[in-house]
Structure 1
Amino acid sequence: MLAALWAAEGPLGAAAVQSALGGRLARTTVTTILTRLHDKGAVSRSRVGRGFAYSPLQDSAGLTARRMRNELDKQHDRGTALARFVSQLTREDEELLRNLLGGAGDGVRGGPQPGVGDGPRP
């Protein structure tokens, strides 16, 4: 559903999303999912005629970061959860995270760095 919105050049109504998905889902199902995505803050919507047009509020990376943050917020012991997350990173991802955290004090937040995080840890 979100992939269809990310690929679009502008807001899409439920019928356009349904079409972008190949028509495999009923329009009522598409509308229900879009409404739930709106309620969860993943998409915005604006009134168009009798319906709504939907737009994603974040790109795929932003949505992943938001999900990670939501899961972390559920943890009573954040330190343990973060430690276990870091212990499962590939060597390249660990280096990328170190680079991002090292630049955080300089206002550098987000954005992949070329050549880092391209493969599994040996």
Structure 2
Amino acid sequence: MKDLGELEAEVMDRLWAATEYLSVRDLVDRLGESKRLAYTTVLTVVTHLHEKGWVEREKRQRAYYYQPSRSRRDAVAASIRELLMQSPDALGALEAFAATLSKAEYDAVQRGWEQRGDQPTS
């Protein structure tokens, strides 16, 4: 996602893969599969993610436990929306993007369109 640094994105990947809240220690252990990170580094990262609104946290005794504030699919959709809003030619970009869609992707867009109801168009 555009708003996330490399390590923030890795932390979010671990949080999205989890089925429960994770502590900083849990995250250090799960990130340790790919790199060795200090507890304080991971603590700083999840604190920033909380401040940015990417994660929710719950205090249990003396430690915070974290979970994503939104699903990965909602985060990706918000990133795409933000890119479109920043484009001087959003419609042209959408047209060019649509030309690259597979049938399955096109069908997914169609399902999303049908599910949106009477929501505003902007």
When normalised by structure 2's length, the TM-score is 0.69
Counterpart position of 1:45: 57
Give yes or no for the alignment of 1:4 onto 2:38.
no
Distance change in 2, residues 1:76/1:51 (3 Å): farther
Deviation at 1:13, TM superposition (A): 1.9
AA at the equivalent of 2:112: L
AA at the equivalent of 2:89: D
Unaligned runs of 5+ in 1: 108-122
- 2:73 equivalent among 42, 51, 61: 61
Per residue, is there more helix in 1 or in 2? 2
Residue deviations 1:56-89 (CA, integer Å, cap 9, x gap): 1122222211221222222233212222221221
- 2:103 equivalent among 91, 108, 114: 91
AA at the equivalent of 1:78: A
CA RMSD of aligned residues (A): 2.5
Higher RCO structure (Cα 8 Å, ≥6 apart): 2
Distance change in 2, residues 1:13/1:78 (3 Å): same
Unaligned runs of 5+ in 2: 1-10
When normalised by structure 1's length, the TM-score is 0.69
Identity of aligned residues (%): 32
Distance change in 2, residues 1:49/1:99 (3 Å): closer
